[in-house]
Amino acid sequence: MLLLVGQAAVTGLLTGAVYALVAVGLTLIFGVMRVVNFAHGALLMLGMYTAYWLFVLWGVPPYLALPVVFVLLFLLGAGIQRGLLQPIAGAPQHTQLLLTLGVMLILENLALFLWSPDFRTLRIAWLEGAVPLGPLLLNKPRLIACVGAVTLTAALYLFLAFTEPGRAIRATAQDPVGAALVGVDVARINTFTFGLGAACAGMAGALITPYLYTAPHVGHVFLLYGFVVVVLGGLGSFTGALAGGLLIGVGEALGAALLPGSLKELVVYGIFILALLFRPTGLFGVRQRG
């Protein structure tokens, strides 16, 4: 039993790192723009298809496709913000929410039209097998996805903490009016931030392509878990998204190992409900501006 729990916990940590990268993109967009992005899962799906087709058509490994995915999803995200969200920046929040929901439906139905609802999987010979860690086994593609997700999350953190654009993003998140008064182009920062958030979703999609099916609606579960992680960690909290992702990943894996299949998500939503009951602002919740 102890070995089973240990194996589930390790597997959950590997998966949780990817959830964290997805949630970091969501919380970055929400923290700066106060936009709940329902299209986030669809952007992840496009990242998966990009990595899939690059491998199938030209033999490019999904991990080497990350720069291409980053550029494409960044441009798409920036275009969505500039072309659709920016014109309704002053509208009620539910209007922006419905708009991102519409974007999600358009992207998913476009994928359905172009690539059919068939599940597509990649078989890469050198990724088969597992890496031993004492009595535990680490699935190779999940391990690489975890390392990639942690590296990208850390790189984004350093970018936000130590670069001029990163400081402008943080200033806009704290007080957009004050940031504008000291010379920050808030509209441009919003576009840049949405592009970064979309790129996070796309790269998470590329990282999981070697071990998960690719399909038009694959982003739904990641969108749902992403929202759970963001609320659990604290809306707008970068550290909370990381901690919440790891916690949800472990909870999901333990639920799958210890409970019947239909109840495996009980642990995830149990953690979520307990967090809302005893710490409504999330584990690392920050005070929201009005």
Model confidence at 289: pLDDT above 70? no
Token duo for residue 71: 């550029």
Q: In which band, very low, low, confident or very high, does the pLDDT at 268 lie, cut at 50, 70 and 90? A: confident
What's the rounded mean pLDDT across residues 157-178? 92
pTM of the model: 0.92
> What pLDDT does 80 receive?
95
Q: What angle do CA 10, 14, 15 make, to 5 degrees?
A: 115
What's the rounded mean pLDDT across residues 145-150? 94
Q: 90: burial class by Cβ within 10 Å (0-12, 13-18, 19+)?
A: exposed
Query: DSSP string of 36-70?
Result: --TTHHHHHHHHHHHHHHHHHHH---TTTTHHHHH
Mean of per-residue pLDDT scores for the chain: 89
What Cα–Cα distance (Å) separates residue 144 from each residue in 14, 219, 229, 290? 9, 20, 21, 41
* 45 or 135, higher pLDDT: 45
CA 116 to chain centre: 24
At 136, give phi and psi (nearest 5°).
-100, 160
Please state whether 137 falls in left (phi above 0), alpha (psi between -120 and 50) or beta. Answer: beta
Q: What is the pLDDT of residues 61-90, one digit of tens each?
A: 999 999 999 999 999 999 999 999 999 887
Token duo for residue 83: 């072309």
Q: In which band, very low, low, confident or very high, does the pLDDT at 290 lie, cut at 50, 70 and 90? A: very low
Which range has the worst mean pLDDT, 3-7, 138-142, 244-248, 280-284? 280-284
Q: How far apart are CA 161 and CA 168, in angstroms?
A: 10
Which range has the worst mean pLDDT, 94-98, 120-124, 233-237, 266-270? 233-237
Please state whether 129 falls in left (phi above 0), alpha (psi between -120 and 50) or beta. Answer: left
E-strand spans in 1-135? Answer: 130-133
Q: How far apart are CA 109 and CA 42, in angstroms?
A: 10
- Whether 254 and 8 have beta carbons less than 8 Å apart is answered as yes
Q: What is the residue type of 178?
A: G
Model confidence at 168: pLDDT above 70? yes
Q: Give the closest residue to 243 by CA, choosing from 13, 33, 11.
A: 13
Q: In which band, very low, low, confident or very high, does the pLDDT at 29 lie, cut at 50, 70 and 90? A: very high
Q: How far apart are CA 253 and CA 13, in angstroms?
A: 9
Q: In which band, very low, low, confident or very high, does the pLDDT at 284 lie, cut at 50, 70 and 90? A: confident
CB atoms within 10 A of CB 6: 15
Q: What is the pLDDT of residues 196-250, one digit of tens each?
A: 999 999 999 999 999 999 999 999 989 988 888 888 888 777 788 888 888 888 8
> What pLDDT does 69 receive?
96
